[in-house]
Structure 1
Amino acid sequence: MNVLLVYTHPNHQSLSYAFLQKVIQGSRDNPRITEIEVLDLYEEGFDPVLVFNENKRRRDMHADPRLEKHRQQLLRADLIVFVYPIWWGRPPAMLLGYIDQMFAAGFAYRDRGGLFPEGLLKGKSVVCISTMKGPARYPLLWLHDAHKVLMRKALFRFVGIKKVKFFEFGSMESPKGRHEKKLERVYRHFQSLAR
């Protein structure tokens, strides 16, 4: 199994980075995982800004040569892991800019003229690991799970990815946030993960 880790946090001293390290450690300790590739969007200086004009059209985004390396990463991956904080009830703008550009028509899906497109990333699975300051139940009770609905239905299902797992950890700025227990849970998941 090939794993692509998309990390989105500007601080390598953050709890998100600690979760990234646990994903890497668990994946290395899993004999079923043969390749681990890390894409650190901030460290790489990924440009999340969409630009469309007379020379650059949205319908051509799937062939943008600047993004070819990232398209190949997604194609190689059997499992795509996103590690990010929840800010204002949603993933960071950097990650949303990556999604806007990478999950483009002609690469991630193809319009068929009906209500739903043909997902071109079928067979892949996704794990989303997110942290937030607020309580764990806040997204469900106050936001009707908007973050999960956005990621699962509006994005992954749209491009053909049906297997999606969430680790959504709340109260992470509290000393009672049980960080070590949650980090160990993520490690164990990846260490024992089978396709």
Structure 2
Amino acid sequence: MKHLIVYAHPHQDSLNRSILNTTVGALQSKGDEVIVRDLYELDFRPVLKAQDTAAMRAGNTPQDIKTEQEFITQADTITFIYPIWWTGLPAILKGYVDRVFAYGFAYASDENGIVKMLAGKKGLIINTHGTPAEVYDQIGMSDALRATATVGIFEFTGIESVGHLLFGSIGYLPEEGYQEILRQVENTVKQAF
């Protein structure tokens, strides 16, 4: 199985990096192929510009977008790993979705409505945030985050969600808490794929 991981965190020593390494290790332990697209390492340009959309409409997709679309096309599964900043995706990942999950590639429309062009793929989202999980649960933010990413990105384009992990209180947990997060990530990845 081919797994694509789209990773968005700028710091090498972050919990998100440990989550990435745990995810890669769990997949590779099953003999699966894993490709990681580290958006910060790639210095991915997140801003969708008028020339991008004009080029795509003319059938001349810019090379950086085309490269990422090829990775998505070849993948059986797609995992997003990123922190929640200001109750949403980091700008670099939001821009990746804006530019790469383009009309005509990830979705289209016809007389029956939306055509989900990434059907047949499975997806997992793993997030961290500093707010306690109970607070996000109580105010509806956890559900909103799942709706905007799992439903609004994955399901909208036909990617079947196998889970959305949200880990709160990051920066405030004892060491055992972080180890438990990594165990949960490893177990989820091994069971989901």
Q: TM-score, length-normalised on structure 2? A: 0.90
1:152 offset after TM fit, Å?
2.1
- Higher helix proportion, which one? 2
Amino acid at match of 2:12: H
Runs of 4+ in 1 over 6 A off after TM superposition: none
Aligned counterparts of 2:75 and 2:25: Cα–Cα separation in 1? 18
Aligned counterparts of 2:44 and 2:171: Cα–Cα separation in 1? 27
Backbone CA RMSD of aligned residues: 2.0
1:69 offset after TM fit, Å?
1.2
Matched length: 190
What are structure 1's unaligned runs of at least 5 residues? Answer: none
1:61 offset after TM fit, Å?
8.5
SS at match of 1:117: strand
RCO higher in 1 or 2 (8 Å CA, sep ≥ 6)? 1
Amino acid at match of 1:27: L
Amino acid at match of 1:132: H
Alpha-carbon distance change, 153 to 14 in structure 1, aligned in 2, over 3 angstroms: same
1:7-61 Cα distance to aligned partner (Å, 9 max, x none): 1001011111110010011111113x2x1000000010000011105x8527629
Matched residue, 2:116:
119
Aligned counterparts of 1:61 and 1:155: Cα–Cα separation in 2? 24
SS at match of 2:118: coil
Aligned counterparts of 1:189 and 1:87: Cα–Cα separation in 2? 23
Amino acid at match of 1:136: A
Pair 1:183 & 2:178 matched: no
SS at match of 2:50: coil
What are structure 2's unaligned runs of at least 5 residues? Answer: none
Q: Contact 2:77–2:122 at 8 Å: present in 1 too?
A: yes
Aligned counterparts of 1:127 and 1:108: Cα–Cα separation in 2? 17
Q: Contact 1:30–1:193 at 8 Å: present in 2 too?
A: no
Of stretches 157-166 and 57-66 in structure 1, the one that deviates more from structure 2 is 57-66
Matched residue, 2:149:
151
SS at match of 1:24: helix
